Amino acid sequence: MPKPTPFHEVLKKKHTVKKLTSLTDTDEAQELQLLFNANNKIKYRKRERELGLLGKQFRVTKGIVYEMQDRGETLTIAIHLQVKGHSLTWYFWAPGAIDQYPQTFRDKLYNAAALAHKSVTKGCDLYYRGSNAVHIKLMHDHESESNHNHNHYRLINNQHYTPVDFSQHLLALKQSEIHDEFFALGEIDALCDKFTFFHANWTSKVDRALSLEEEYFAHESQRLEPEDIIELGMFGQQQEPCRINTAELKIDYELARKEITDAIAAIKTDDGTTAQREKAATAVLVLENRLKVVQAEYEELIKFRQIGGSRGLNSAIAPSRQIKGSDSPVVKQSVGMDDTLGKEVPDVPAWAKKLLEEVELAKKKLLASAIERLDNPLQVDIPSDSTNLNVSTIPSPSIVSDVSVLVKTPSPKMVVEVATPLIVTPSVPPKMSVDIPAYQLPLSSSSPSLFESFSVFAQKDKMKAVDASSIRILGVAPIN
């Protein structure tokens, strides 16, 4: 019996746009392909910029570098709207033509939708994109949808869309300057009515053991793997806090500044011996530098969030993991994607106490909802007075020459057992285990893939070098 299908509608208006013909056999495309294969992001971007000044354009799709040339071709594009769980998605539907038309055209709708989404009470300004293995199961119905340019607009704590959330997003778009270009007269009101009817049927359990929604998420195609939970535990906090209350942030910022300025004022630099005065002057200098750091952190966070509403996070690792059965290649190298913000996600600083609380709470809820969708459900205990997730189950390693690595994540706490084939030498025993704090793992959008991270740190602990692609997850267990 086929699984139920989430809400999916096609807008009435079609769009004819310029197609940029994609070529792989030009000298410039092949030059960039070599840099891409070498995973040399800096030289790749530098050379791409140089060629851009000469009027040349390039894209990378599934690990292949294409030079894009305007040869007078056009494309007909339809706009699709989908709602799955906590994600509302706008697609530019053009089979076989992903990235082959101007980004400026897509940004008209993307940016208008981002602005409209600020009117959604439970809306979020950022979403974690991550690997294809995670992204497709969290935000798409099936893998082929990701072969069309698209963008997502999520709700807080992965709450599922209701007609209220949907209407807030759509009705705000109705007031935008791009409305007439993308929507027919009365179309938005009709879409709101359609979703209201769909949602009532989707969530109803009248004469049913499971609602259509529950049946859908119970389907094998929607189940998560332990690797997905690990990835979300390591990187998912990038999308939090969902929204920044600038008034609360400023209060914490001013308190941090006052604490430093009070400490500076308490230091006496003109009393005592010469050595004591020099020591006091050094302490003042350190605190003044700290004051500059706090100010820079505050300004960076505010600036980042001003542009954060229309792009996903950590898309650099997208092709590093694919869903089971995918025909798409695993590609470890990446120079970024269409939906990346183009910069690192700033950390929430230690002085921003309210934001840190929100990040921890949101991460707990993210992992709790993800664990419920595991293919082989684990026993999960979430104490009401703790942010720890205690997950119980550990399969035994089946390969005698495995190295078992225990990776502890700071919050929520989990232990993940990972196995990597070991090249045994007389100085290295067939089995060993190491604790690696997750905070040591690279968390930026430009970091290696999840599995490469494990490999890198395994090597730092003097294990033999391993092929990152051969790492496999053995299980998850509670931290004692």
**Distance separating alpha carbons of residues 57 and 41, to the nearest angstrom:** 17
At residue 260, the pLDDT reads: 92
Q: Does 254 have pLDDT greater than 60?
A: yes
Q: How many Cβ atoms from other residues are within 10 Å of residue 168's Cβ?
A: 20
At residue 394, the pLDDT reads: 28
Query: How much of the chain, in percent, has pLDDT values that exceed 70?
Result: 73
Beta bridge partners, 313, equal 128
Q: Does 173 have pLDDT greater than 80?
A: yes
Q: Which pLDDT band holds residue 119 (cuts at 50, 70, 90)?
A: very high
Q: How many Cβ atoms from other residues are within 10 Å of residue 366's Cβ?
A: 22
Q: Does 64 have pLDDT greater than 50?
A: yes
Provide mean pLDDT across the span 110-139.
90
**Nearest residue to 472 (alpha-carbon basis) of 131, 222, 226, 221:** 226
Q: How many Cβ atoms from other residues are within 10 Å of residue 325's Cβ?
A: 7
Q: Does 387 have pLDDT greater than 60?
A: no
**Nearest residue to 37 (alpha-carbon basis) of 66, 63, 67:** 63
**Distance separating alpha carbons of residues 192 and 165, to the nearest angstrom:** 10
Any long-range contacts for 422-429 (C-beta under 8 Å, 24+ apart)?
422/463, 422/464, 422/466, 423/464, 423/465, 423/466, 424/464, 425/464, 428/463, 428/464
Q: Which residues of 271-285 are buried (b: 16+ CB within 10 A; e: fewer)?
A: eeeeeeeeebeeebe
At residue 276, the pLDDT reads: 82
DSSP 396: P
**Distance separating alpha carbons of residues 209 and 306, to the nearest angstrom:** 45
Q: Does 474 have pLDDT greater than 80?
A: no
Element (H, E) at 418: strand 415-421
Provide mean pLDDT across the span 144-173.
94
* Radius of gyration of the chain from its Cα atoms, rounded to whole angstroms: 25
Contacts of residue 328, defined as CB under 8 A and 6 or more positions apart, other chains included, come to: 62, 132, 143, 319, 322
Q: Does 417 have pLDDT greater than 60?
A: no
Q: How many Cβ atoms from other residues are within 10 Å of residue 173's Cβ?
A: 22
Higher pLDDT, 216 or 37: 216
Q: Which pLDDT band holds residue 469 (cuts at 50, 70, 90)?
A: very low
Contacts of residue 92, defined as CB under 8 A and 6 or more positions apart, other chains included, come to: 77, 79, 101, 105, 106, 109, 148, 149, 150
User: What is the residue extent of each domain of the chain?
Assistant: 7-125+141-224, 246-306, 390-477
At residue 376, the pLDDT reads: 60
Mean pLDDT of the chain: 76
Provide mean pLDDT across the span 171-195.
97
Higher pLDDT, 147 or 164: 164
At residue 132, the pLDDT reads: 87
Provide mean pLDDT across the span 129-155.
92
Q: Which amino acid is at 270?
A: D
Q: Within 13 A of 327's CA, how many CA atoms are on the CB side?
A: 5
DSSP states of 436-451 as a string? EEGGGS--STTS--HH
- The predicted-structure confidence for 346-377, as pLDDT tens digits, reads as follows 778 999 999 999 888 888 888 888 888 886 64
At residue 75, the pLDDT reads: 93
Q: Which pLDDT band holds residue 449 (cuts at 50, 70, 90)?
A: very low
Q: Does 342 have pLDDT greater than 60?
A: no
Q: Does 339 have pLDDT greater than 70?
A: no
23-27, 195-199, 322-326: least confident range: 322-326
Beta bridge partners, 437, equal 408
DSSP states of 260-297 as a string? HHHHHHH--SSSS-HHHHHHHHHHHHHHHHHHHHHHHH
This prediction has a pTM of 0.72
Distances (CA, A) of 147 to 93, 361, 364, 427: 9, 33, 31, 48
236-245, 271-280, 421-430: least confident range: 421-430
Provide mean pLDDT across the span 382-399.
31
Provide mean pLDDT across the span 250-260.
94
- The predicted-structure confidence for 263-289, as pLDDT tens digits, reads as follows 988 887 777 788 888 888 888 899 999
